[in-house]
Amino acid sequence: MSQGGQGYGAGEQPGSPSWRPQDGGVRSPPAEPPADPWGTPPQGQPGAPWVGPPAGYPHPGYGPPAGYPHPGYVPPGQAPRTPTIAVVGLVLAIVMAPVGLVVSLVALGRTKRAGAGRGLAVAGSIVGAVLLVVGIGVAVVMVPLVAELTGPRASVLRLDAAVASSSCDEFMATSTRAFRTSNELTTCDDFAAFVASNGYQDNQVQVTRVSVENGVASVSTTETYLWLDDGQTYTDRFVYRVVKEDGAWRVDGVDLVGQ
């Protein structure tokens, strides 16, 4: 049926509608709003007014991606948590300065992201650095001192071991020329005769004291040995005088305490 009750015959199609919009135009969906609510500066229109975002207001889209929290973000009502590494760094800085210093430096970055614990990380870095410097200073002072004390002690023990083992080379390396001359032990034959005539064996040497003054070391010992003439065990105390010769500590004399 057509409008007004008129029908269409076979093969006939209805024509275009007889009405049109009043303005004569074509209807279309409204345009989408711009992505930037502040708009963009007009192009090719000098002097055209443009209102941008207020001063200090971030441009739309500024900041971390959607759903990604800003560094240091803490949910409402929840206090920021101090990273454990900051506490560990401070403790290690006290007991092991080099390790604690490294851990505390790493903790600085972690605490910045976490928003808490930065004070602990800074304290660990300072403590670790100070103790490391102090430790280096002590080592610089103590190492030569320890070497100065261990050198004379080692020479005395090596000399006694050389006599016990009949080692001429070791005896020559641990005694001064003056000591060998005064005891008529200038050659290995002299040394071998001296060892053969010894009336003791199983000598046990214990160093009790070492001191160094004006380049001369005094090494006190307590020595226990078996005297072969009577088969008795005796204990005596000796003081060795040790000096540097040819860059090495060498025994220059020995005295029996009390005689």
Residue 19 placed within a domain? no
The reply to whether the predicted model has a pTM over 0.75 is no
Q: Same domain, yes or no, for 90 and 165?
A: no
Q: Same domain, yes or no, for 131 and 159?
A: no
Provide Rg for the chain, Cα atoms.
49
112, burial (CB in 10 Å: exposed 0-12, middle 13-18, buried 19+): middle
Q: Same domain, yes or no, for 128 and 199?
A: no
Query: By residue range, what is the domain housing residue 106?
Result: 84-135
What region does 62 belong to: left with phi over 0, alpha with psi -120 to 50, or beta? beta
Residue 20 placed within a domain? no
Residue 2: pLDDT band (50, 70, 90) is: very low
Please check whether residue 214 is in contact with residue 202, taking contact to mean a CB–CB distance below 8 angstroms. Answer: no
Residue 70 token pair: 């800003």
Residue 212 placed within a domain? yes
Q: Same domain, yes or no, for 182 and 218?
A: yes
Q: Same domain, yes or no, for 131 and 161?
A: no
Residue 11 placed within a domain? no
Q: Check residue 116 and give its pLDDT.
A: 77
Q: Same domain, yes or no, for 131 and 191?
A: no
Above 60 in pLDDT, residue 230? Answer: yes
Q: Same domain, yes or no, for 114 and 203?
A: no
Q: Please state the separation of Cα 242 from the chain's center in Å.
A: 40
Which of 135, 164, 196 represents a domain boundary (last residue)?
Answer: 135
Please check whether residue 107 is in contact with residue 83, taking contact to mean a CB–CB distance below 8 angstroms. Answer: yes
Q: Find the helix packing angle between 118-165 and 97-114, rounded to 10°.
A: 160
Please check whether residue 172 is in contact with residue 180, taking contact to mean a CB–CB distance below 8 angstroms. Answer: yes
Above 80 in pLDDT, residue 189? Answer: yes
Above 50 in pLDDT, residue 44? Answer: yes
Q: What is the CATH number of the domain that holds 230?
A: 3.10.450.50
Residue 162 placed within a domain? yes
pLDDT tens digits for range 90-135: 888 888 888 888 888 888 877 777 777 788 888 888 998 899 888 8
Q: Same domain, yes or no, for 123 and 177?
A: no
Q: Same domain, yes or no, for 102 and 162?
A: no
Residue 24 placed within a domain? no
Q: Same domain, yes or no, for 164 and 237?
A: yes
- d(CA 169, CA 191) in angstroms, rounded, equals 10
Domain count, the chain: 2
Residue 76 placed within a domain? no
Residue 99 placed within a domain? yes
Q: Same domain, yes or no, for 181 and 118?
A: no
